[in-house]
Structure 1
Amino acid sequence: MRRGILLAGLAVMALGASGCSRIQQNQGYLIDETLLTSIQPGVDNRESVAKTLGRPTFAAQFDDGEWYYISRNTGQYAFARPKVTQQSILVISFDKAGAVTKVERRGMEQIARIDPVKDKTPTLGRDSNFFEDLFGNIGSVGAGGGPMGGGTGRDGPK
């Protein structure tokens, strides 16, 4: 009897502990070092890079002078937000003729931390409180004086 309770208790503890294990996730391009070292500035062009490494994760938006291959590893516990544990950005730059000019690797230093303001979003315009929003138009309805204005309303000409 005690042995059955002990085994059931151990099973519950093992199940509970499995929820605390870290979840690993790999995203993006998996860089093959052998293929990467075969890309040479001045020798390769866009076509040879595409054949060797495949299509980039994304390209420069306006001039198509750079290709980016991005990979990211994240980890998280049960219901927590994922945290980046490793990141690699491979940047291949091209000249106007399409020849490779530079192969560069970047890492975790490219991650930007952005903390948005949680209270309210600042906007242009007039500050008003709840009661001004609710009762602000009382008395101004119909006081416009017609299509040419001339009224004495709160927001109209004086």
Structure 2
Amino acid sequence: MKFAASTPKALRRSLKTGASVSVLLLALTACDPKVALRGNAPLESRLEQISVGQSTKRDVVAAIGTPSTIGTFDDNVWYYMSQRRETWAFYPTEVTENQVLAFHFDEGGTLQTIDTYDKDALTEVNLEEKETPTSGRTMSIMEQLFGNLGKFGT
């Protein structure tokens, strides 16, 4: 009989413990960052299929896919870009990983070099907000409103 009397107490205690553990686990998982992956980050196993001096553009596309972009001034340079961003709660988004792979091909389309750039190689570019001067004169608001009066015959 003593066992039956202590069962509701033990049950309440285990329910409280279970609820506490559940709340603690929920709080810990809420601290995980939101992760956003962008771009084309080739896997190491795919990159191993490519060899400098032997692989062609076709081989590179077959192994890791089409590039993120092709060089503006030289179409024999292909860029594969990827970025990982994390956001923690209400803090601003932070770039935690940034990688650019530059594949340089010769005129025949054979891979010559692969350059790797990471987050440390980034350069901050400041936006310059200026106005470009234009020729002509500036019209006042009154000239704009009443400028066409009398110009058109009826």
TM class by smaller structure: 0.5 to 0.7
Higher helix share: 2
What do the CA deviations read for 1:74-108 (whole angstroms, capped 9, x no partner)?
11123443211011211111011111111122111
Aligned to 1:109: 120
Structure 2: 5+ residue runs without aligned partners? Answer: 1-18, 143-154
- 1:47 and 2:55 equivalent? no
Q: Which residues in structure 2 correspond to 1:1-158 (within 5 Å)?
A: 21-116=32-127, 121-123=129-131
The two structures have a TM-score, normalised by structure 2, of 0.62
Aligned to 1:128: none
Aligned to 2:11: none
Cα distance, 1:51–1:11 mapped onto 2, change above 3 Å: closer
Residue range with higher mean Cα deviation, 43-52 or 30-39: 30-39
Instruction: Give the partner amino acid of 2:130.
Output: P
What do the CA deviations read for 1:23-74 (whole angstroms, capped 9, x no partner)?
1222111321122122112211111111111111111123211111111111
Q: Distance in 1 between matches of 2:132 and 2:100?
A: 38
Instruction: Give the partner amino acid of 1:50.
Output: V
Instruction: Give the partner amino acid of 1:91.
Output: A
The two structures have a TM-score, normalised by structure 1, of 0.60
Structure 1: 5+ residue runs without aligned partners? Answer: 1-7, 126-132, 139-158
Corresponding residue pairs, total: 132
Q: Percent identity?
A: 23
Q: Distance in 1 between matches of 2:31 and 2:24?
A: 11
Structure 2 counterpart SS, 1:50: helix
Structure 1 counterpart SS, 2:61: helix
